[in-house]
Amino acid sequence: MKPHKIAVIPGDGIGVEVIAEGLKVLQAAGQKAGVSFDLEQFPWGAGYWLEHKVALPPDALDILGRFDAIYLGAVGLPDQVPESVGVGQVVLGIRSGFDQFANVRPVQPVGGCPWYLQHRKSEDIDFVVIREATEGFYCNIGGRYAPAAAEVADIIPMRPAFVRSKEIALQTGVFSEFGCRRVIRYAFELARRRDGRKRVTSTTKSNALTHAMGMWDQIFEQVAGEYPDCEHEWAHVDALAMRFITNPERFDVVVASNLFGDILTDLSAVLVGGLGFAPGGNLSETGPSMFEPPHGSAPDIAGKGIANPIAAILTAAFMLECLDELEAAGLIRRAVALVVEAGEVLTPDAGGTATTEQVGDAIATMLQQ
């Protein structure tokens, strides 16, 4: 069998540290399951920008397009590089470049992880949040204008505060019928494949964002009609955020637009013990998908050896699953579960004293047993 070609971008801050442990466990799982990898690392990110004034070289997408998947650590050095550089050029650049339309965040707590909801049991929680990842307000369309600018001439009279302002900023969200339908349909297809209740929950704010969210709601009902074997429901995003905390066990698959999904996925990380336990991936139908733990570069703890690598390790398992290497993915998840449940080798964010490397070693060792 040909090896899977994986492009590795450790990135910045703790990204370098957690990806090293993710690769350690990935290769251990491959050896156990008979899966091989052709790994190539690239130094792109905010640190690369400091030297080259670009976070990605001009031919980056051409290079990455030759790989089966992309394994990204984290990008960003907020005290040194504008956040628009790391996120805009690397994360959003790759997502849009390969049309990675579905940001997928599994919400399945590992036994023994930090648990913050005393009124619910962690073993009852098992759902997935699907975030549309290429449209909405992240298209970066708009600008900042003086009140006399022609671009805001029709806007100024709308509110007294606009008239009194020295500057007006416009941030335009773009929602396409195809983009909405595609990600909603993916959510229903995923619900069919899961062992859960086959329920899809959509969230919008159509009482305030009438044009875009109204279209999303309409498309959701149309797509739901194509899946009579699946339940479907809808909630405003503010109400859904509350329900994530009050009764998260009711959910199976949740689908949301880019901005709302961004907020809800970080909220859902609370339900798996924090961002240090939360895997994620950006899926494409036409090019390589990119898999990244969503915790960010955390430069305040970079180099201290205390970053939790479990999110990066579970992200590697998710990548294997999407590459149809189900045995290897299962081996990683089992090893993570056993180490976390034992509670002896955990980083400080999970109540332990272990280092990043020690956690990776423990999981790799457990995987071989």
The domain spans of the chain are 1-105+281-369, 115-127+177-272, 136-174
Is 138 an annotated catalytic residue?
yes
> Each residue of 332-363: pLDDT tens digit?
999 999 999 999 999 999 999 999 999 999 99
The topology (CATH level 3) of 115-127+177-272 is Rossmann fold (3.40.50)
What pLDDT, on a 0 to 100 scale, did the predictor assign at position 195? Answer: 84
> Each residue of 48-102: pLDDT tens digit?
999 999 999 999 999 999 999 999 999 999 989 998 888 889 999 999 999 999 9
What pLDDT, on a 0 to 100 scale, did the predictor assign at position 257? Answer: 98
- Among candidate residues 32, 99, 145, 205, the one labeled active-site is 205
- Among candidate residues 124, 238, 300, 304, the one labeled active-site is 238
pLDDT greater than 80 at residue 1? no
**Mean pLDDT on 301-322:** 98
Is 38 an annotated catalytic residue?
no
**Mean pLDDT on 149-166:** 96
Is 53 an annotated catalytic residue?
no
Is 99 an annotated catalytic residue?
no
pTM across the whole model: 0.95
Cα gap 256→222, rounded to integer Å: 16
> Each residue of 263-300: pLDDT tens digit?
999 999 999 999 999 999 999 999 999 999 999 999 99
Cα distances (Å, whole numbers) of residue 140 to 85, 132, 144, 215, 290: 13, 15, 12, 20, 21
What phi and psi, each to the nearest 5 degrees, are found at residue 16? -60, -40
The closest alpha carbon to 75, from 63, 92, 58, belongs to: 92
- Among candidate residues 138, 186, 198, 361, the one labeled active-site is 138
What pLDDT, on a 0 to 100 scale, did the predictor assign at position 85? Answer: 85
Is 71 an annotated catalytic residue?
no
CATH number of 1-105+281-369: 3.40.718.10
Three-state secondary structure readout of 77-111 = CCCCCCHHHHHHHHHHHHHHHCCCCEEEEEECCCC
pLDDT greater than 90 at residue 30? yes
DSSP state of 351: T
pLDDT greater than 90 at residue 208? yes
The tokens 């009902």 sit on which residue? 221
> Each residue of 158-182: pLDDT tens digit?
999 999 999 999 999 999 999 999 9
- Among candidate residues 12, 126, 252, 262, the one labeled active-site is 262
Percent pLDDT > 90 in the chain is: 96
pLDDT greater than 90 at residue 2? no
